[in-house]
């Protein structure tokens, strides 16, 4: 069984009420998104990126142990 820590920022952290949580048994980024949409339906209507180990996800991947998974709303620095 794998277990991934997910960290959240900005409006996503605000809406889910925490800056980190865990998801279990997600083998791929597709499975990750399904689980997220299921658990937090508001994410279906929000633009956001997923970063795996600080790299923005560009195509679907198999997830590995100890990766840092982050949910990033649109950037608004500057």
Partner 1 sequence: MNHSPFSFAFLQGAITPTHIAEIVQQNAAMLTLGAHSLFLGQVRADEKENGSITAIEYTCYAEMATAQIQKIITLHSTQYALKSVFIYHSIGTVAIGEICLCVAVGAAHRKEAIEACQSIVESIKKEVPIWGREIINESTSIWKTNHFSSSQ
Least distance between partner 1 and beta carbon 49 (Å): 4
Minimal distance, residue 42 CB to partner 1, in Å? 13
Helices (H), 1-78: 10-16, 29-39
Buried b (16+ CB within 10 A) or exposed e, 2-23: eebebbbeeebeeebeeeeeeb
The least CB distance from residue 50 to partner 1, in Å, is 8
Nearer Cβ to partner 1 (41/77): 77
Return the number of the residue (25 or 28) whose C-beta is nearest partner 1.
28
């Amino acid at each position: 069984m794998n277990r991934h820590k997910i960290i959240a920022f900005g409006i996503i952290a605000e809406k889910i009420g925490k800056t980190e949580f865990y998801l279990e048994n997600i083998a791929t980024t597709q499975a990750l998104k399904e689980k997220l949409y299921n658990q937090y339906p508001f994410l279906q209507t929000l633009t956001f990126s997923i970063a795996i180990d600080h790299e923005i996800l560009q195509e679907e991947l198999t997830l590995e142990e100890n990766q840092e998974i982050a949910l990033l709303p649109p950037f608004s620095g500057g």
